[in-house]
Amino acid sequence: MMKRQRVTAQESFGCVMVEWWLTESRPEPMIQWLGVRNLTVRLWRTTSTVLGIGAGASLFLTVVLINQSVLQSYRESLEALTGRAELVVTPDASSWMPEELLSKIEQVPGIAHATPSVQTMAKITWADGNFARNGAKASLITGDSLEFLNSTSHILLARSFAARNGLKVGDTVTASTPTGAKSLTIRGLLPEGGMAKAFGGALAVMDIDAARKTFAFDGQTSRVDLFLKAGTSPRQAQARVSTLLGASFRVEEPAERVDNFQNSFRSFQALIEFLAAVGLFVAWVLVAGTIHVSVTERQGELGILRAIGASPMQILTMILGESFWLGLLGGGLALAASFVFSHAMLGTVVAALSAQALLKIPEPQLHLPLVQAFEFLLLTATGAAIAGLFPAWRATRVSLLASIEREQPHAAAEAPWATLAAPVPSLIAQMAIQNVVRRPSRTSTTVGLLATALAFVAVIEVMTGSFEKTLSARFDHTLTPELVIFGQGKGRPDQRQTLHEGFVDELRGLPGVRGAYGRRLLPIRYEGREISLISLDDMGVETGYRVLDVVDRPREQAGIELYSSPDFTVLVSESFRNHFHKSTGDFLWLAAPMGNVRARVIGITTDFSSPNGALYTSRAWYRKIWKDPLLNGIGIMVQEGHGTTALQTTLRSRYALSRNVVVLSDREYRNEVQGIAAQAIVYVKSLRWAALFIALIALFNSFMVDIRERWQELGLLRAVGMSPLQMMAMLVFEALLKAAMAVILGLGLGLGVAWFGLTNFLTTRLGWVFHLHFSWQAPALCAALAGIVSILAVAIPAFKAVSLEVSLALAEL
């Protein structure tokens, strides 16, 4: 009794203070003080809300932080590799350009010097990374320059990389190359800074002629760095070189290369940023729910404030101030948590971006500028204030008379739905149903909060499930070889060390091998976008051309035409058709190393190698036009009567070390690719737990206030004989009823958004065509999570209710 009297005295004292401040014509500071006081008095609610906001906002900031750190890391690597070069020439139609173009470029007016280089990825015995191989300047060599330039097996390493791995000058390492393993000797160390900064120091430098010979780049160049004469405009030089080389080559400033790199995975970034923004939105919904609950709980206080002269605008600013402070505190928590989450998720997100960019990206150092941190705090605080706008407006409508009437005890009105509960044998269940339906405002708030989180979960489950099912179905339909061979390394096959086509001829002569077939994936550009050009050896009509997942005509007919047509033919992927509006029967003009070539489209196929699209052609035509002897993988068909496992063991023992390759069965290959795909979406799936955590906090706040409002009613129930166990059952049943309503609403909303995302967003933004796969896993998961979250949220409030002293509750009547 005394505790309640002290609270009343404090509230009365607060009202007297407000009245004094109002009469002194200084209402604004006092009104704002009451808002801050509400946050500190109800500390448990403030803390839980700040935690929820921090959870949602930190995931949003984590995505932004990782994305911009990746771009900054790549920009630094490009700057380190190009040095002071003002323009960079790269092939637009392949991964190389003829060496003889160098002399033509140097004759362009305004060009002072042109430096060629070749670049590739390799696997070495102690690490796996990106290695750029080019002609090193003598100023960067700490060993014997003349000996270095005269050798085909000498390399330079970054000093930091050598120190991390315990390497020193004179050590010998083994590198995988397209023609097998090669021994290389460390002949010097690159000093810190400059070129050694590229790819986090995972860089080796060779003489360009040695690199061409070692890595099968005979007569080829990957990149040419251009240095201009004094007074020459970069734009003028760019236009002159572009005119000379034609559409098959790109002439860019170093900054433009970063923009093109970002474009290669901008769509994927947009997807994860969109989902992360949804997490932030759910956090703001939590603010709206919290402020709504707070306004409902403080009807009496708000009515008194209006009665003693507080204007609606003053009430509005007080409530919005509470929302703003909640958002600001949550944003501060998110700033700290985002660095923890970023370090935990960095590898996963970088791997996914690498898959999209068709380039292995080094893990960057995380950095958040101070200005951006301030902008993020302002975003979370302002968003929270906007989220609290409607509850704040409701607070301005409260009158003293209405608040007094609301405080008076009254019997619960019989809800229209209550008659539906008549057949229910349990009185407790009937009371729970009546409590749910006779408070539509509170019920709708609770159900809406949980339904928003469940809709988010349903969207993630359906979209990721559809992605995995579509990918799995494509493998089941197209995977033909019984064994596959790739270069050593991590990531997708096209991101590993390449193989030489001569290896295919060697494999075809081995016992047990019925056929060996090469595959090459080459990133090229079409109408300014990067696409995949995939060439395949003819596996024969007896395989039914299963490897070609043609969707608009019989695949056998398409396969025969692809490999036997006298003209250059291609299959285009569904994403290519959607982006460029090209279908069967149309013609394409493709940029090739020696000029543009015309290709005839003979079918539409399914492919997920590039969001912008892919082209499939025969290896014979690819070899003729692109003159590229390299492969990304080799498929092996096993002779009948010869065990697949036995042949796999033979190939591993013979080539695993000598050529640095991996030999996988079809099942192992399928599992590996699906694992890479799953890695790309594991971050997306983690967002659902943040949404559920936010929902848990929101429901906890709602249930606490709901029980506090029903203090008197619960006391009366205890007085007339309801046991603590019965009361606990009633409150839990109410929570489960609201959870069931939230499941229905959330699933309906989530499935609609997932359908729209798969048929519109992924098709138009990512370019991929996924089929909607609905399983009972998503509804079952949502129902289970809704029940668990609701029970957890109601547990403490219910325990507080059953621990209620009847005399204390009745004293409030």
Residue with tokens 């409607």: 390
Output the pLDDT for position 370. Answer: 84
Q: Which class for 419: exposed (0-12), middle (13-18), buried (19 or more C-beta within 10 A)?
A: exposed
* Average predicted confidence (pLDDT) for the chain: 76
- 14-26 pLDDT per residue, tens: 443 444 344 444 4
Looking only at the bridges linking them, the beta strands covering 87-91 and 249-252 are: antiparallel
Stretch 490-506: mean pLDDT: 78
Distance (Å, whole) CA 545 – CA 548? 6
- 310-347 pLDDT per residue, tens: 777 878 888 888 888 888 888 888 888 888 877 777 77
CA dihedral of 755, 758, 764, 766, whole degrees rounded to 10: 150
193 versus 683: the higher-pLDDT residue is: 193
Nearest of 3, 36, 45 to residue 702 by alpha carbon: 45
Which among 387-396, 465-474, 522-531, 564-573 has the top mean pLDDT? Answer: 564-573
Whether the Cβ atoms of residue 781 and residue 457 lie closer than 8 Å to each other = yes
Residue 615 dihedral angles phi and psi, to the nearest 5°: -120, 135
Say whether pLDDT at 752 is over 50: yes
Looking only at the bridges linking them, the beta strands covering 180-190 and 154-158 are: parallel
Output the pLDDT for position 94. Answer: 64
Say whether pLDDT at 619 is over 90: yes
Query: In sequence order, which ranges of 24-149 are alpha helices (DSSP H)?
Result: 27-41, 43-82, 101-106, 145-149
Give the number of other Cβ atoms within 10 Å of residue 254's Cβ: 18
Output the pLDDT for position 273. Answer: 67
Output the pLDDT for position 623. Answer: 92
Whether the Cβ atoms of residue 403 and residue 384 lie closer than 8 Å to each other = no
CA end-to-end span of the chain: 12
DSSP 762: I
Distance (Å, whole) CA 250 – CA 365? 30
- 129-158 pLDDT per residue, tens: 444 333 333 233 333 444 555 567 888 888
Whether the Cβ atoms of residue 113 and residue 86 lie closer than 8 Å to each other = no
Distance (Å, whole) CA 483 – CA 317? 69
Distance (Å, whole) CA 310 – CA 23? 10
Stretch 108-112: mean pLDDT: 89
809 versus 739: the higher-pLDDT residue is: 739
Say whether pLDDT at 388 is over 70: yes
Nearest of 453, 452, 469 to residue 758 by alpha carbon: 469
Stretch 120-129: mean pLDDT: 63
Output the pLDDT for position 376. Answer: 86
Tokens of 371: 């200005």
**DSSP reduced 3-state for 158:** strand
Q: How confident is the model at residue 29 (pLDDT cuts 50, 70, 90)?
A: low
Output the pLDDT for position 484. Answer: 92
DSSP output for 317-341: HHHHHHHHHHHHHHHHHHHHHHHHH
Distance (Å, whole) CA 691 – CA 703? 18
Nearest of 182, 248, 179, 221 to residue 630 by alpha carbon: 179
Least confident span in 109-118, 177-186, 286-295, 480-489: 286-295
Tokens of 196: 């050694």
Distance (Å, whole) CA 586 – CA 601? 5
Give the number of other Cβ atoms within 10 Å of residue 604's Cβ: 22
Cβ partners under 8 Å of residue 387, min gap 6:
284, 285, 287, 288, 291, 323, 327
